Structure 1
Amino acid sequence: MHAKPAPFGGRLQSSIQPDGDAAIRQTDSDAALARFSAVQKQYFTDPFIKHLLGRGSQFQPPRPPLINVGTYVRSEAIDALVDQWLDLSHAEGKKCQIVSLGAGSDTRFWRIANTPRKDLLASYVEIDFPEITTKKAMSIRKNKDLSLLLGRPEDVKLAHGGTALHAPAYHLIPLDLRLPPGQALGNALNSDAGAGLLSPNLPTLLLFECVLVYMRPAESEALIQWFVDYFSAGDDGAVLGAIVYEMFGLNDPFGKVMLNNLRARNVDLPGAESYPTFDSLLQRFLRHGFDASHALTLREIRRTYISHQELERISQLEMLDEIEELELVLQHYAITWGVKLYERNGQSLKANWKGWALRAPEDQQ
């Protein structure tokens, strides 16, 4: 039995030495290929991921069933939370903003822009290493399926020597998230496009998909706190939400195998030490004053939050003979989400933001 390092398309940011960053950036290709593999096997649809793969990547063999199933569970759960966030914003009577940190080759903006929910987006910001954003900007400019959903060609502009890209509702920004956010993040969100890219008065969702666990605790806490402070300056009642997907509880025998596999690739997990147990996950947002914090392991999501019909469908896609290992890996990955409400001047929020949560199939009737 072998634990797979970052098996479910995780993106890595790391607090390792700069000469190790190439290995970290390579995991973006791993993430894209894992998602493409699951799409090929018909776990879910994503017509855009193929456009963000490197040359020749489409001809690589599919990932093993264990990885495809894990990618599916992770994707379904985060999609459900993001869609519900957009619907809550609509109920609030406002557009919303999404900031994807360590976004890599993620296709979420295009998947939203290809649905009626596109009109609910005021701004979608992606941030990653400049090497990653440069490749993504080039792919966007070269591919009509990606570029047409950004708006009129004259409204889509490259910046920072091709490492950044700006469109009316989409912004791709190069930044090392390990830098102190007080200056680095503030400058990045206010430089190229003139006015600030984020309004402190709109509901805003932060996405951290396999990012914070690769940063020192002080770095990740400073990053979250920057956004908490930024939205505290708004004039109207604002809402800040966050979703974290990452591994945790790596102090048991199976977790130690995962750690050793990652260290063999020159990747350390300094953020994992702060979250040795499931209960500790909830503290990530509560220590920043969030009003609600929730967490679920991927194992629990697969067992309880995916319908029997869907489980039956995906069971027919591939023969999975690693159930025990799948359960162990899923138990070491979790999705944590939280929401912070800023209510001022006697204003009350219309939507049930504290009710933002994954729903079991019977609750979706």
Structure 2
Amino acid sequence: MQTQDPDSAIRLTDTDAALARLSAVQKRYLDDPFLKHLVPRAHLQQPRPYLINIGTYVRATAIDDLVFQWLQNSAAQGTRCQIVSMGSGSDTRFWRIATGPHKDNLAAYIEMDFPEITTKKAMAIRKSKDLSAVLGDVTVAPGGTGLSSPKYHLLPADLRLPPADTFGRLLASDSGAVLSPALPTLLLFECVLVYMSPTASSAVLQWFREYFSPQGSGALGSIVYEMFRLQDSFGRVMVDNLKARHVSLPGAEPYPNVESLPDRYLNLGFSAARALTLKEIRKSYIPPAELQRIAQLELVDEIEELDLVLEHYAITWGLFVPPSASATPWSQWGLSVKAAAPVDEEDED
């Protein structure tokens, strides 16, 4: 009898995320002309409830803000930067950057995920003229499990394995390093580390921090988006629902509240870290004009339920500046308050 692949349920969460983003695009919360090429039968997919649409919008808007700041800070120093997206799944951020105003600020964009996911993505990229045209010359990995171009690299990897066996081999090999410790580098983890043991996720961050110190001269930034605070009644329901789908969240245990989230970075020697819940970001860190625009897209009739969901997800960002790099340009990197007043009253109309 064939045993079920224990990681198949985790890989299916990428489908959930892609369909949630597609729904937010369909409802005009977000603009993403590339996503349809990575979602099978995109035109037949049904929109998601407003709870998912708004959560997806807040998540995407905040992470985009942090990423664009990183690109701008690098350009202000007269250098380009690198972005490494772990568990990247069906994400389209590379194409959005590569066709946008910050395209010249990007030296390399690296995506890593399970081989099953990178194989499907590599195939979708090669089939789509819109996606492949942005890459230029492409080299396909043996077996079609990934591909590389001058700026974009799609690499198969299990992030739970010892970092020396994965990142050391794929990113920092003596035969030709894909990742330079001399350039400012941003790590992205969107719903990734929560599926890993705390020991494994710490090992990933520790490898990168050591790679950029002491020999590195580029700043290292990292963004984590995931669920947390799963010990309360709402969190336990989330955990039970995922267990029913054979998905566990071992990485959430060390983070019972938002105050504990920066410890992920600070305990590993990062220079600074901060965390905000999606509820906080929605209320104060989205431009007022944008809040007014999205308030017109769908009727929100349960503010309390929306807030309850949003306060169980957070974005945490950490910064490490090697001794040989200047901290000044990076000291202001982070989300800043943009909305002057709560938006609940507008939503309840």
Q: Could you say what secondary structure the match of 1:317 adopts?
A: coil
Counterparts of 2:179 and 2:214 in 1: how far apart (Å)?
12
For residues 10-65 of structure 1, the C-alpha deviation after alignment (integer angstroms, 9 at most, x for no partner) is: xxxxxxx97221111111111111111100000010000000002x2430210011
Aligned twin of 2:242: 262
Partners of 1:238 and 1:343 within 8 A in 2:
no
Q: Could you say what secondary structure the match of 1:361 adopts?
A: coil
| Structure 2 residue ranges without an equivalent (≥5) | 341-349
Aligned twin of 1:361: 338
Aligned twin of 1:131: 116
For residues 212-247 of structure 1, the C-alpha deviation after alignment (integer angstroms, 9 at most, x for no partner) is: 011000000001101011111535x22000000001
RMSD: 1.7
Query: Which stretch has the larger CA shift, 126-135 or 353-362?
Result: 353-362
Alignment pair present for 1:29 and 2:15: yes
Question: Which of 191, 215, 218 is equivalent to 2:199?
Answer: 218
Alignment pair present for 1:277 and 2:257: yes
- Tell me how many residue pairs correspond in the alignment: 338
Partners of 1:290 and 1:339 within 8 A in 2:
yes
Aligned twin of 1:227: 208
Question: Which of 294, 299, 314 is equivalent to 2:274?
Answer: 294
After TM superposition, list the pairs within 5 Å mapping 1:304-319 onto structure 2: 304-319=284-299
Counterparts of 2:76 and 2:339 in 1: how far apart (Å)?
23
Partners of 1:95 and 1:122 within 8 A in 2:
yes
Q: Could you say what secondary structure the match of 1:46 adopts?
A: coil
Counterparts of 2:22 and 2:85 in 1: how far apart (Å)?
20
Alignment pair present for 1:149 and 2:120: no
Partners of 1:200 and 1:233 within 8 A in 2:
no
Q: Could you say what secondary structure the match of 1:360 adopts?
A: coil
One-letter amino acid of the counterpart of residue 197, structure 1: V
Alignment pair present for 1:170 and 2:147: no
Partners of 1:66 and 1:322 within 8 A in 2:
no
Alignment pair present for 1:179 and 2:166: no
Counterparts of 1:205 and 1:307 in 2: how far apart (Å)?
24
Aligned twin of 2:346: none
Counterparts of 1:184 and 1:311 in 2: how far apart (Å)?
42
Aligned twin of 1:104: 89
One-letter amino acid of the counterpart of residue 331, structure 2: K
Alignment pair present for 1:205 and 2:186: yes
| Structure 1 residue ranges without an equivalent (≥5) | 1-16
Partners of 2:206 and 2:268 within 8 A in 1:
yes
Alignment pair present for 1:60 and 2:37: no
One-letter amino acid of the counterpart of residue 205, structure 2: I
Counterparts of 2:338 and 2:126 in 1: how far apart (Å)?
40
In the TM superposition, residue 189 of structure 1 has moved relative to its aligned partner by 2.0
Alignment pair present for 1:39 and 2:25: yes
Counterparts of 1:245 and 1:98 in 2: how far apart (Å)?
16
In the TM superposition, residue 298 of structure 1 has moved relative to its aligned partner by 0.2
In the TM superposition, residue 125 of structure 1 has moved relative to its aligned partner by 0.2
One-letter amino acid of the counterpart of residue 161, structure 1: G
Partners of 2:284 and 2:339 within 8 A in 1:
no
For residues 271-313 of structure 1, the C-alpha deviation after alignment (integer angstroms, 9 at most, x for no partner) is: 1101011111010100111111011000000000112321121
Counterparts of 1:162 and 1:233 in 2: how far apart (Å)?
36
One-letter amino acid of the counterpart of residue 304, structure 2: E
Length-normalised TM-score, structure 2:
0.93
Change (3 A) 1:271 1:90: same
Change (3 A) 1:321 1:116: same
Q: Could you say what secondary structure the match of 1:76 adopts?
A: helix
After TM superposition, list the pairs within 5 Å mapping 1:3-22 onto structure 2: 19-22=5-8
Q: Could you say what secondary structure the match of 1:116 adopts?
A: coil
Counterparts of 2:96 and 2:175 in 1: how far apart (Å)?
27
Partners of 2:170 and 2:178 within 8 A in 1:
no
For residues 116-162 of structure 1, the C-alpha deviation after alignment (integer angstroms, 9 at most, x for no partner) is: 211111110000000100011011111111011112xxx21101310
Counterparts of 1:330 and 1:285 in 2: how far apart (Å)?
22
Change (3 A) 1:307 1:184: closer
Q: Could you say what secondary structure the match of 1:355 adopts?
A: coil
Counterparts of 1:18 and 1:280 in 2: how far apart (Å)?
35
Counterparts of 1:279 and 1:248 in 2: how far apart (Å)?
11
Q: Could you say what secondary structure the match of 1:208 adopts?
A: strand
Aligned twin of 1:241: 221
